């Protein structure tokens, strides 16, 4: 089980994955070795899935975010698997979700321009049949975080 110290460690790491273990240990009131062991345990249990670098999209020349709603032509495992494979071929598609409701799938793309989005769209519709594909262009990013809320993690007393 994880306790409140683990939660504080995880909170620090979610906001600064490069924080030195000695600094984290000091901030949570532990010595370095026990802090390191706690971090390793969170990695081994999969709570810490991986550590990554967040790239500034504007500096990487992909400032435009486009949300694409997809309705499948039919609900079959074959089509779903073909769709999963197709979207895997597009680095511009950075997130994809299967939904309940009117929309079957929601994709988030990052691209340098509407022209590049159009190229992605044309490649995608050449690969698969769709019932509908609808795009919404993000005008402003109001909130972005990779940190998840930790209030719901099962903590032992």
Bridge partners, 70 (sequence order):
105, 133
The DSSP secondary-structure symbol of 2 reads B
Q: Which CATH architecture has domain 64-137?
A: 2-Layer Sandwich (3.30)
CB 6 within 8 A of CB 157: no
User: Which whole-number Å values give the CA distances from 19 to 11, 23, 51, 143, 153, in the listed order?
Assistant: 11, 7, 12, 23, 22
Task: Give the per-residue pLDDT at 156.
Answer: 53
Residue 76: closest CA among 126, 128, 120: 128
Q: Is the pLDDT of residue 104 over 90?
A: yes
Nearby residues of 147 by Cβ (< 8 Å), 6 or more positions away: 11, 14, 15
What's the pLDDT score for residue 139?
97
User: Which residues in the chain are classed under CATH 3.30.70.920?
Assistant: 64-137
pLDDT per position as a tens digit, 108-123: 999 999 999 999 999 9
Model confidence at 33, pLDDT cuts 50, 70, 90, reads very high
Q: What pLDDT, in 10s, does the model give residues 89-101?
A: 999 999 999 999 9
Residues of the chain with CATH 1.10.10.10: 4-44
Q: What is the mean pLDDT of residues 29-52?
A: 96
Class of domain 4-44: mainly alpha
pTM, whole model, 2 decimals? 0.88
Token look-up 């032992």 returns: 156
User: For residues 67 and 48, what is the distance between their CA atoms, to the nearest angstrom?
Assistant: 28
């Amino acid at each position: 089980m994880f306790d409140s110290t683990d939660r504080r460690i995880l909170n620090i790491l979610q906001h600064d994955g490069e924080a030195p273990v000695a600094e984290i240990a000091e901030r949570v009131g532990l010595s370095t070795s026990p802090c390191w062991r706690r971090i390793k345990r969170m990695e081994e249990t999969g709570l810490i899935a991986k550590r990554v670098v967040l790239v500034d999209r504007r500096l990487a020349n992909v400032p435009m975010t486009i949300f694409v709603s997809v309705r499948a032509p039919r609900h079959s495992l074959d089509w779903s698997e073909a769709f999963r494979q197709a979207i895997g071929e597009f680095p511009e598609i950075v997130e994809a979700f299967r939904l309940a409701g009117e929309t079957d799938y929601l994709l988030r793309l990052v691209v340098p321009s509407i022209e590049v989005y159009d190229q992605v769209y044309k490649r995608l519709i050449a690969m698969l049949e769709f019932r509908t594909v609808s795009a919404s262009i993000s005008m402003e990013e109001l909130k972005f975080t990779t940190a998840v809320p930790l209030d719901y993690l099962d903590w032992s007393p």
